[in-house]
């Protein structure tokens, strides 16, 4: 049996986090309002899906779920777990802005518990600019480092490396964007208690909206036209490739009979694939392509 008191506590706090993030994003969008629908999973649990199609954000979702039941065999095998019941709850976000000069962003915080009592936290935030602005990337990474450093001196360096490794399109030999942090299976082996790691998960979630709304503010005066929009469509295509080929969360959601509309919310409204496209040498597009590699340091030491 799972720890009902703990699972309810985490799920309730994640619901409040969803509310707070949606409020901040509506203010930053300048007119758009989230639509909401609630759903139930036949095997147990459900979620609250919120989608924004606004003035600044072309398509974005802030999704909450809390699901439970028998863990599918294929998922248990991938997690190296015996047959078990499970409980999983989390908030997952992907935002696709109208402007090519503003970045795509993803965030996820989650809690997982098995019927045998094993538990862990996972999550992270990563940034996918259509055009890399080094100052913006440094700002973003510094916010993540500040949050990590409040809980453990090694978290940022470890989780940045894990983000570089995870958000990587192996078939393209390029990172999805400028990285961020990614972590999974955080439990008492970190030296922190479950309550402390819960606090870290909430802190990561609370870092998201202030950091992203500042990036939107910085992008607002940057002009763009058809060329930049065309490049945005190509970069969105890369985002789709990652989410459908490599993303573990997408696979988990589909394997556990999650709600398809919510799982595929991360897809952009439009994207493009051009055969054998190569950016012009010394162009802004080529410059951005040059940033898409592992191991780039953006934060202060």
The pLDDT score that the predictor gives to residue 1 is 53
Q: Which of 68, 106, 130, 141 is catalytic?
A: 106
Read off the pLDDT band of 259 (50, 70, 90).
confident
Q: Residue for token digits 């999974």? A: 184
DSSP string, 2-13: --HHHHHHHHHH
User: What is the rounded CA–CA span in Å between residue 88 and residue 201?
Assistant: 14
Task: Say yes or no to pLDDT of 3 above 70.
Answer: no
pLDDT recorded at residue 119: 94
CB neighbours of residue 189 within 10 Å: 8
Instruction: Give the residue-averaged pLDDT of 30-38.
Output: 95
Q: Count the neighbouring beta carbons within 10 Å of the beta carbon of residue 297.
A: 10
Q: Do the beta carbons of residue 25 and residue 213 sit within 8 Å?
A: yes
| Predicted local confidence at residue 104, as pLDDT | 98
Does the annotation mark 98 as catalytic?
no
User: What does each C-alpha distance from 224 to 59, 121, 301 come to in angstroms?
Assistant: 19, 40, 34
- pTM for the whole structure: 0.93
| Tens-place pLDDT, residues 162-197 | 999 999 999 999 999 999 999 999 999 999 999 999
Tell me 131's DSSP state: S
When the pLDDT of each residue in the chain is averaged and rounded to a whole number, the result is 94
Q: What are the pLDDT digits (tens) for 97-145?
A: 999 999 999 999 999 999 888 899 999 999 999 999 999 999 999 999 9
For residue 299, the model assigns a pLDDT of 66
Kindly tell me if the per-residue pLDDT of 249 is higher than 90: no
């Amino acid at each position: 049996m799972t720890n009902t008191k703990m699972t309810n506590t985490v799920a309730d706090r994640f619901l409040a986090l969803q509310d707070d993030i949606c409020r901040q994003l509506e203010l930053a969008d300048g007119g758009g309002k989230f639509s909401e629908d609630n759903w139930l999973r036949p095997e147990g649990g459900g979620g609250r899906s919120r989608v924004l199609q606004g003035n600044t954000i072309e398509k974005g979702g802030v999704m909450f779920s809390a699901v439970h039941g028998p863990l599918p065999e294929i998922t248990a095998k991938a997690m190296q777990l015996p047959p078990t019941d499970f409980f999983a709850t989390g908030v997952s976000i992907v935002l696709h802005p109208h402007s090519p000069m503003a970045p795509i962003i993803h965030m996820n915080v989650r809690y997982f518990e098995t019927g045998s009592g094993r538990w862990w936290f996972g999550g992270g935030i990563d940034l996918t600019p259509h055009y890399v602005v080094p100052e913006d990337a440094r700002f973003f990474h510094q916010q993540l480092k500040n949050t990590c450093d409040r809980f453990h001196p090694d978290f940022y360096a470890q989780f940045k490396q894990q983000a570089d490794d995870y958000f990587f399109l192996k078939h393209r030999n390029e990172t999805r964007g400028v990285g961020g942090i990614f972590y999974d299976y955080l439990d008492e082996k970190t030296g922190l208690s479950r309550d402390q790691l819960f606090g870290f998960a909430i802190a990561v979630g609370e870092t998201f909206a202030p950091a992203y709304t500042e990036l939107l503010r910085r992008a607002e005066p940057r002009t763009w036209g058809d060329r930049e929009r065309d490049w945005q469509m190509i970069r969105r295509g890369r985002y789709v490739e990652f989410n459908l080929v490599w993303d573990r969360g997408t696979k988990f959601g589909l394997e556990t009979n999650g709600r398809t509309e919510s799982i595929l919310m991360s897809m952009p409204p439009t994207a493009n694939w051009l055969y054998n496209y190569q950016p012009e040498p010394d162009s802004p597009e080529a410059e951005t392509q040059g940033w898409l590699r592992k191991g780039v340091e953006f934060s202060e030491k």
